[in-house]
């Protein structure tokens, strides 16, 4: 572990640091949203409708990024939106990672008919665009409100996004399977489950973790897209996607409503991508 930390420090590049800083900021916003947001994100204030950001004429420091068509504070809504993105982004990735890891390692380890079946399923899921599959599931189940809406999105995005994890886990397991200590463990008569968890999993963890860091960004964009289309998180819950959907109608009159949520999404995803790229380089360097 100490060795890992040392190599981590050595290879911590400026872009990796930037990514880490962005991701930490978003997570802090998500956790402390009620404390750091200057206003209640749902507070209507009809006298303060459609105020521009503070640096423009008519803007006020009380609403640094302006207000929307109902007089709600844009900054507070942005900060609160981080919650849904962080929760859906991480849990959606964890679900996808879990499904992909189990199916991929099983296919790679046992090979034969098991591999053939899982691989065909994999081919099928690779051919269906992520968002389109998610749309189809939502069409059948219907968009949900409140907490069950978040659960639905996590499940939908997890079930639609596992294919990449399974593909990588399968390939890595097939390679790890031929390692000498895995073969000896098998020769000693250890059970497949034990070998998979004790010996193979630690050896295939690195690429899976990297893929996970990158997938968080993909899931966040997918959540934003679905919420933007009115099929994800439902109002009154606030997310960057629903903010964009609201702001879309005011593109001509209040540009900030459709601009800031997009900046927030872009920054967050870039942060997780930079972190993922850095993780990949760091873990590569360690194995070299």
In degrees and rounded to multiples of 5, residue 128 shows phi and psi of: -90, 120
Residue 217 found at the interface with other proteins (CB under 8 A): yes
Nearest approach in angstroms of CB 284 to other proteins is 15
Q: Are 96 and 65 in contact (CB under 8 A)?
A: no
Return the residue of 268, 278, 282, 283 that touches other proteins, per CB under 8 A.
268
Site for other proteins in 9-48 (CB under 8 A): 15
* Nearest distance in Å: CB 253, other proteins: 9
Chain CA centroid to CA 252, Å: 31
Q: Which is nearer to other proteins, 164 or 172 (CB)?
A: 164
Binder among 6, 10, 44, 248 for other proteins (CB under 8 A): 248
Q: Under the criterion CB under 8 A, does residue 103 sit at the interface with other proteins? A: no
Can you spell out the DSSP letters for 186-240? HHTT--HHHIIIIIIHHHHHHHHHHHHHHHHHHHHHHHHHHHHTTSSSPTTS--H
Residue 216 touching other proteins (CB under 8 A) = no
Helices and strands (H, E) in the chain, number of each type: 12, 0
Q: Is 60 in the site for other proteins (CB under 8 A)?
A: no
**Which of 35, 252, 287, 288 is the binder for other proteins (CB under 8 A)?**
252
Least separation, in Å, of the C-beta of 109 and other proteins? 21
Q: Residues 182, 215, 77, 75: what is their CA dihedral angle, to the nearest 10 degrees?
A: 100
Instruction: Tell me if 140 contacts other proteins by CB under 8 A.
Output: yes
Q: For other proteins, which stretch binds (CB under 8 A), given 3-11, 89-97, 146-154, 259-267?
A: 259-267
CB atoms within 10 A of CB 48: 19
Return the closest-CA partner of residue 275 out of 223, 211, 225. Answer: 211
Give the residues lining the site for other proteins (CB under 8 A).
15, 120-121, 123-133, 135-142, 217, 221, 224-225, 228-231, 244, 248, 251-252, 255, 258-259, 261-262, 265-271, 273-274
């Amino acid at each position: 572990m100490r060795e890992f930390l040392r190599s981590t420090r050595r290879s911590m590049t400026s872009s990796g640091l930037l990514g880490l800083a962005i991701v930490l900021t978003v997570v802090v916003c998500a956790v402390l949203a009620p404390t750091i947001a200057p206003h209640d994100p749902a507070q209507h204030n009809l006298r303060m409708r459609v105020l521009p950001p503070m640096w423009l004429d008519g803007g006020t420091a009380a609403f640094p990024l302006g207000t929307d068509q109902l007089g709600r504070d844009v900054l507070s809504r942005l900060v609160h939106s981080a919650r849904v993105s962080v929760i859906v982004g991480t849990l959606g990735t964890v679900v996808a990672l879990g499904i992909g890891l189990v199916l991929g390692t099983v296919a790679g380890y046992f090979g034969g008919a098991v591999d053939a079946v899982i691989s065909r399923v994999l081919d099928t899921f690779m051919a269906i665009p992520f968002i389109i599959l998610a749309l189809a599931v939502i069409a059948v189940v219907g968009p949900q409100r409140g907490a069950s809406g978040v659960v639905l999105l996590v499940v939908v995005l997890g079930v639609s996004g596992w294919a990449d994890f399974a593909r990588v886990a399968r390939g890595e397991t097939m390679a790890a399977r031929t390692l000498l200590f895995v073969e000896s463990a098998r020769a000693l008569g250890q059970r497949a489950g034990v070998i998979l968890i004790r010996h193979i999993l630690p050896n295939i963890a690195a690429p899976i973790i990297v893929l996970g860091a990158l997938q968080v960004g993909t899931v966040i964009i997918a959540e934003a897209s679905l919420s933007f289309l009115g099929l994800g998180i439902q109002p009154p819950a606030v997310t960057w996607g629903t903010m964009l959907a609201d702001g879309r109608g005011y593109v001509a009159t209040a540009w900030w409503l459709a601009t800031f949520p997009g900046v927030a999404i872009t920054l967050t995803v870039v942060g997780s991508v930079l972190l993922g790229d850095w993780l990949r380089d760091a873990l590569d360097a360690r194995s070299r």
